[in-house]
A and B are shown apart, each in its own frame.
Chain A
Amino acid sequence: MMLMDTSLIGAINLTIHAFLVGSLLLGLHRKIMARIQGRPGPPIIQYLLHTLKFYVKEITFPITAGNPLYIFVALLDIAIWLAALIIAIDFKSSLLIIIGIYVLQKIVEHGCGLSSGSPYGKIGGVRSVFSAAAEVPLFAVVAAIYLTTHSVLISDILSYQEIHGSLLFKMPICAFAFFILLVSKAPNSPFGIVKGKDIVSGYMTEHYGLLGAIIYIAEAIAYFVLLWLFIAVFIGPLVINSPVLTLAVMVVMTVILAFVNGLTPLLAPHHSVMLQMTIAGLVLCDVLYRLIVGG
């Protein structure tokens, strides 16, 4: 079985895997987007090169930065995504904990933006709270999954799919809502108001050097975890039991995400929130239907 080794070595192995795969996929995402826009684009190891470059740079602090929040928020970011990685993939534990972790990500974005003292960072932080609407579909998805599989544990969802087949075909609306979450998390997304180019890099504007590298590492792991969750919850154990097949599906999903993000404009903040709330409403209708029909 893939990734069942819960020993320390297994966890380190998994962490390195998540970082490398996440970084390469983000590099591939950027490359494909560049090709769509008619540019040659950087090599796919560019994200890794950026991370390494920032990692060895000198640490300086902006004069406006509010320490120690400025430092701890980067460490919190990597801590929460490492926790998500171990809880989701190693322990195959509850989806509710993953939601909790995803909500903590908002604290990171908010704290990161506000602690820097930069107006761009501040707007990014405020928009991060504003775009909390992205979590509502996630709650609704978990509710619908619970009504169907009678469990929120990833291990139970996987064994349910082993018997009843992939959830993707049983709950397409939920899969769509989760996919939109992936779209909003991917770089240059139409929902990426938190890091929109109109506010430079949003909450990341003033984090550079080692702290920037730590946030980059956390983002690579986050991307890997979210893709893994989508594959585990909606496609099932057929793919997730083989690391190579999981990697192949992740590459395909990254290509799809890059096309979606490359061909859609950045939405205005209120449009982005309204669209996500509409999707949440759609999933809530699905939940109500399942409540009435009974699973």
Chain B
Amino acid sequence: MGLFELNLAIILFIIGNFIGLEYSYRKYSSPYVEKGIDKFALAISVFGGILINSPLYMLGCLLIGFPLGMRPGYGRVEFVVGLAVALFLYFLRW
């Protein structure tokens, strides 16, 4: 992967973070919740983890950035699950 492609992936990852932040501030009003899983974010995260190991890795970066960007206290489990899926598939392919 060249530097230009990597830059595009990083920019999409940042956009994913922005969307996640905006989404979670609109959806949740309480400031910090440790328990509870957002099913939508979980689905996006797992899908991103799968896509990151495919030729559509840029879209995968956008999707996996979504749960990471969510407001503090939200989206942590979702992101870790997505990351675990991405790493598992990467090592499986390797």
Contact = CB atoms under 8 A, between A and B. Distances in A.
B63 to A, nearest CB: 16
A21 B3 CA distance: 12
A78 interface: no
Given A243-B1, A244-B1, A45 B7 contact: no
Given A10-B3, A45-B17, 19 more contacts: A3-B3, A13-B3, A14-B3, A17-B7, A20-B7, A20-B11, A20-B14, A24-B10, A24-B14, A40-B73, A43-B21, A43-B68, A43-B71, A43-B72, A44-B17, A45-B14, A45-B21, A243-B2, A243-B3
A247 B2 CA distance: 12
Contact of B14 (A14, A17, A48): A48
Interface of B: 1-4, 6-7, 10-11, 14, 17-18, 21, 32, 68-73
Nearest to B20: A43
Chain A interface, >50% SS class: helix
Nearest to B17: A45
A5 B68 CA distance: 32
Contacts of A20: 7, 10-11, 14
Nearest to B32: A40
Contacts of B3: 2-3, 5, 10, 13-14, 17, 243
Interface in A1-23: 2-3, 5, 10, 13-14, 16-17, 20-21
A42 interface: yes
Contacts of B11: 20
Nearest to B34: A40
11 contacts: A13-B4, A20-B14, A24-B10, A40-B72, A42-B72, A43-B68, A43-B69, A43-B70, A43-B71, A44-B68, A243-B1
Chain B interface, >50% SS class: helix
A43 B68 CA distance: 7
Ordered nearest first, which 10 A-B pairs have the shortest CB separation? Answer: A40-B72, A45-B17, A243-B6, A20-B10, A40-B73, A17-B7, A243-B3, A43-B69, A40-B32, A13-B3
A20 B12 CA distance: 11
Contacts of B14: 20, 24, 45, 48
B28 to A, nearest CB: 13
B81 to A, nearest CB: 18
B72 A21 contact: no
Contacts of B2: 243
B73 to A, nearest CB: 5
A41 interface: yes
A19 to B, nearest CB: 10
Contacts of A43: 17, 21, 68-72
A16 B5 CA distance: 12
B25 to A, nearest CB: 11
A28 B69 CA distance: 11
Contact of A247 (B4, B6, B32): B6
B41 to A, nearest CB: 13
A43 B73 CA distance: 10
Nearest to B5: A243
A45 B69 CA distance: 7
Contacts of A3: 3
Nearest to A20: B10
A48 B70 CA distance: 15
